[in-house]
């Protein structure tokens, strides 16, 4: 840093204040960056166990069709039907056993051709 003037002592104290401010701002910047990264990691891993139940369904066709039915009933202004379908959907998501049972992959046996 270049000093101009004869009052070197006053500028020296200003230099130390400036250095402290710069050092604190760099530490503050570094701390903000670390906290931001920690928040993103926490958001990414938070509630992961609960989301696995929904994201890893083997066959979500029934649930998707239920959601589409809710949408259609809402569009056609059938409020009672929408309420019943929504209650079904809530029951499914509140009961993991029913969710697994509904979303299982169903295999149909092939019919053999007779010669």
Tell me, what's the pLDDT at 108? 66
Task: Look up the domain containing 13 and give its range.
Answer: 1-46
Domain membership of residue 112 (yes or no) is no
Class of residue 42 by CB neighbours under 10 A (exposed 0-12, middle 13-18, buried 19+) = exposed
Of residues 105 and 7, more confidence is placed in 105
Residues 34-54: tens digit of each pLDDT: 888 988 888 887 777 667 677
In angstroms, the Cα distances linking 112 to 105, 108, 115 are 21, 12, 9
5 plus 30 within the same structural domain: yes
| Radius of gyration, alpha carbons of the chain | 32
Q: How many residues does the chain have?
A: 115
Of residues 24 and 93, more confidence is placed in 93
Domain count, the chain: 2
CB-based contact 50:99 (threshold 8 Å): no
Return all residues near 91 (Cβ < 8 A) that are at least 6 apart.
Answer: 98
Q: What are the structure tokens assigned to 61, written together? A: 């066709």
Predicted confidence (pLDDT) at residue 26 exceeds the cutoff of 80 = no
Domain membership of residue 115 (yes or no) is no
Phi, psi of 100 (to 5 degrees): -65, -40
Tell me, what's the pLDDT at 57? 77
Residues 61-114: tens digit of each pLDDT: 888 888 999 999 999 999 999 999 999 999 988 887 888 788 777 666 667 666
Q: Is the pTM of this model over 0.75?
A: no
Tell me, what's the pLDDT at 46? 79
For range 2-26, the mean pLDDT: 57
68 plus 53 within the same structural domain: yes
2 plus 42 within the same structural domain: yes
């Amino acid at each position: 840093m270049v000093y101009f003037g004869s009052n070197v002592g006053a500028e020296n104290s200003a230099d130390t204040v400036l250095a402290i401010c710069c050092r604190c701002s760099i530490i503050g910047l570094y701390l903000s960056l670390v906290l931001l990264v920690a928040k993103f990691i926490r958001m990414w891993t938070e509630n992961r166990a609960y989301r696995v139940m929904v994201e890893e369904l083997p066959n979500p066709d029934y649930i998707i069709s239920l959601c589409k039915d809710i949408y259609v009933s809402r569009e056609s202004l059938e409020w009672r039907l929408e309420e019943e379908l929504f209650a079904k959907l809530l029951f499914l998501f509140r009961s993991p056993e029913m969710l697994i049972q509904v979303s299982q992959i169903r295999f149909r046996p092939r019919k053999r051709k007779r010669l």
